[in-house]
Amino acid sequence: MEIFQYDFMLRAFAAGIIVGLICPVVGLFVALRRMSMISDALSHVCLAGVAAGLLSGVHPILSASVFAVAGALGIEKLRDVFKAYSEISIAIILSMGIALGAILLDLGKGYNASFMSYLFGSIVAINQTDLIIIAVTGLSILGLVLLLKKELFFISFDEEGAELSGMPVKIITITFTALTALTIAIAIRVVGILLVSSLIVLPVAAAMRLAKSFREAMIISVILGEVAIIIGLFASFYINLAPGGAIVMTSVIILLFTLALQQRRRYSDVKLVGERVPQGGDSQV
């Protein structure tokens, strides 16, 4: 196919497949912990990180990773300070990320064109260095998350019980938040800073409506994430759409289709039960 005759598209698919694998796996635990907004906050911290990288000459993905991890640690520290209102920590870091990003962007006005490719994602701009960073970091994240899968599952549903059992909850929580930050940092090259949180949340939201177990939810979310990436990249190439927007809109369509299918099944089940109820006299289902 024509699309696979170009090196930049091959790199885009390789990076996209890695990102499509990692984001739903991390996103599932983020959703179970009811901290979906943390991905949005950390993506805005990456905004400042990319701007700092362009200004200093450091690779933007690396600088974004450093800023994102710092933001993740900041969130965990603030959660201890505001224990009764932990969501405030996310709002504080989000605000700080936007403010710092705006200042750095104003200082580096000559880098606006380069910055836009990170803001909305760019398949053309993914080079060999980007791909190596995404692959090494992404596979390391995946390995660590799978290694801590049982502990993260336990903490997500019963944090107090995990602490009483002797599990190092604080260390595991900080580690996972840092891994979430790194996931967002490497995904911005494919879908962009403004849309990366959607790729973490949407496939998981659809999978949680279809799955009957945690294992099924993880498998389905990864499949849906990869489908969105592949369809989005094809649409980006052949219809000349922004890759990040095409990928996320595909995820939105998949989620809406899932909800519609589930609603249709529910209506069919209700109708079937209604047909089985005897008319008149004593009714027993």
CATH number of the domain to which 169 belongs:
1.10.3470.10
Question: Is 23 domain-assigned?
Answer: yes
Domain residue limits at 58: 2-197
CB 37 within 8 A of CB 177: no
In a structure prediction context, what are the per-residue pLDDT tens digits for the chain, which is 285 residues long? 788 888 888 999 999 999 999 999 999 999 888 887 888 889 889 989 998 998 888 888 999 999 999 999 998 888 888 776 767 888 898 899 889 988 888 887 766 667 777 887 777 778 898 899 999 999 999 999 999 998 988 888 887 888 888 888 889 989 999 999 999 999 988 888 888 888 899 999 999 988 888 899 999 999 999 999 999 999 988 988 888 889 999 999 999 999 998 887 766 656 656 566 555 544 443
Question: Is 240 domain-assigned?
Answer: no
28 residue type, one letter: L
Q: What is the DSSP string of 151-196?
A: HHHHHHH-HHHHHHTT--HHHHHHHHHHHHHHHHHHHHHHH-TTTH
Question: Is 215 domain-assigned?
Answer: no
Question: Is 86 domain-assigned?
Answer: yes
Confidence (pTM): 0.85
Question: Is 68 domain-assigned?
Answer: yes
Question: Is 176 domain-assigned?
Answer: yes
3 state SS of 281: coil
CB 89 within 8 A of CB 78: yes
Q: Could you tell me where the DSSP H helices lie in 57-168?
A: 60-81, 87-107, 112-120, 128-147, 149-157, 159-164
Question: Is 104 domain-assigned?
Answer: yes
Question: Is 63 domain-assigned?
Answer: yes
How many structural domains does the chain have?
1
